[in-house]
Amino acid sequence: MAMSFFDQFASPSYLGIPLIAIAIALPWVLYPTPSSRWINNRLITIQGWLINRFTNQLMLPLNVGGHKWALLLASLMVFLITINMLGLLPYTFTPTTQLSLNMGFAVPLWLATVIIGMRNQPTVALGHLLPEGTPIPLIPVLIIIETISLFIRPLALGVRLTANLTAGHLLIQLIATAVFVLLPMMPTVAILTATVLFLLTLLEVAVAMIQAYVFVLLLSLYLQENV
C-alpha cells in the first residue's frame, strides 16, 4: 500500500509509448489563439491582460537587454501553471513531478543567464564570486563557497518545484484514502476529513500557481545579475 502511493508519479505509457509527451503538449491546445480582429472575446482579452500584467511586473527590475527574455519567461510561466493545474484533476499525470523535466527547464535557462553575464560583463559576473571588503585570508574559501552556490542554483530550482508538487499530491492521496477508509466506520470523522481534503485542494491550487511564479521569478533574478 505504501508503494502504491508513489505509482501516481510514474510516467504512464500506452503500447510502449510514453504519454508524457501528450501531457506536455496538451496545455498549448487549451489556450485560445488571438485573432486578427480589433475586438476579441472576453476570454482572449482576460488572457492577454493577465500575461501583460505578469510580463510588466517581471521585467520591471530588468534593463532593456533583459526584455528580450519576456516572451520566453511569460510562456514558461503559463506553461508551468497549466501543467500544475491540470495535474490536480483526477486520473491525470503531472509532468512537473518529474525531477528530470524540471532540471531540463532549469539547467539550460540558468546556464544561458551565466553565459550572457560572462559574455557581456565578465568582470561584474566574476565579481559576484567575491563580496567587496572580504579579508584576504577568507578569499579562497569564499570563492569556493560562492562557486558552489552558483552551481546549486539550477538544482534548487528543479528540486523546489518537484518537492512541493510531489508533497501536495501525496497529502491529497493520503487524506482521500483516509476518507474512504473512515466513511463506513466513522462517518462524522470522515466528513471532517473530507473538509480538510477540500481545503488542502484549494491550497494545492495556490501552490501550483505560486511555484510556477517562483520558478520564473528566480530565473529573472538570475538574469538581472547578468544583464
* Total residues belonging to the chain: 227
Q: CA 88, 90, 92 angle in degrees (round to 5)?
A: 75
Please give the pLDDT value at position 4: 66
Number of domains in the chain: 1
Please give the pLDDT value at position 173: 87
**Stated pTM of the model:** 0.84
Tell me what the mean pLDDT of segment 142-148 comes to. 88
Query: Predicted confidence band at 62 (pLDDT cuts at 50, 70, 90)?
Result: confident
Domain that holds residue 69: 5-223
Find all residues with CB under 8 Å of 34, minimum gap 6, and list them.
40, 44, 48
Query: Predicted confidence band at 216 (pLDDT cuts at 50, 70, 90)?
Result: very high
In order of 29, 72, 116, 134, the CA distances from 175 in angstroms are 32, 37, 46, 51
Please give the pLDDT value at position 87: 86
Is the distance from CB of 205 to CB of 88 less than 8 angstroms?
A: yes
Please give the pLDDT value at position 11: 73
Residue 1 scores a pLDDT above 50: no
Tell me what the mean pLDDT of segment 13-25 comes to. 76
User: If you search the block for the grid coordinates 505578469, which residue do you land on?
Assistant: 54
Please give the pLDDT value at position 162: 92
Please give the pLDDT value at position 6: 67
Contacts of residues 128-137 at CB distance under 8 Å and 24 or more positions apart, as own/partner, are: 128/225
C-alpha cell at 56: 510588466
Residue 31 scores a pLDDT above 50: yes
What mean pLDDT is reported for the chain? Answer: 85
The per-residue pLDDT for range 160-172, each reduced to its tens digit, is 999 999 988 889 9
The helix (H) or strand (E) run that includes residue 18 is strand 17-18
Please give the pLDDT value at position 50: 87
Please give the pLDDT value at position 159: 93
Rounded-to-integer distance, Cα 57 and Cα 192, Å: 40
Share of the chain above pLDDT 70, in %: 95
The per-residue pLDDT for range 38-56, each reduced to its tens digit, is 767 787 888 888 888 888 8
User: If you search the block for the grid coordinates 525531477, which residue do you land on?
Assistant: 99
Q: Smallest Cα–Cα separation from 223: which of 124, 127, 114?
A: 114
Rounded-to-integer distance, Cα 55 and Cα 52, Å: 5
